[in-house]
Amino acid sequence: QVQLQESGGGLVQAGDSLRLSCAASGRTFSNNGMGWFRQAAGKDREFVAAIDWKGGTTRYAESVKGRFTISRDNTGNTKLYLHMNSLKPEDTAVYYCAGARTPVATETTSFYTGWGRGTQVTVSS
């Protein structure tokens, strides 16, 4: 069974940093693009960042560009990371990692087939 497990969320203050991790089990995503999405309370899930299968191409939502960095480690089971700097209260959400059906970095939610259960990030002002 394919599983993606996020970790690293927590309660921080505005301006702090966090690193989210996502570990895959049951299969490797080394040939697939991967991404991070988030969902704030009462809002739709939104794209945050994506990375291609090699880790050479990344895409970011405008709201996090320059503050967040996505990276991956394809050694063994794929691991995905999201380094979040200069956190803002509006970054508060449940963060999900996902694997795509394409090797490229994509913002398109429908291309993602594997989703984790999410990790809560709360940023206080």
Query: 25-81, pLDDT tens digit by residue?
Result: 887 788 999 999 999 999 999 999 999 999 999 999 999 999 999 999 998 889 999
Number of continuous H segments (helices) and E segments (strands) in the chain: 0, 11
Strand partners, 93: 121
Query: Which residues does 73 contact at the CB level (< 8 Å), separation at least 6?
Result: 79, 81
Structure tokens at 124: 């206080």
Cα distances (angstroms) measured from residue 88 to each of 42, 85, 96, 120: 18, 9, 18, 14
CA dist., res. 84 & res. 67, Å (int): 6
Instruction: Give the pLDDT band (50/70/90) at residue 84.
Output: very high
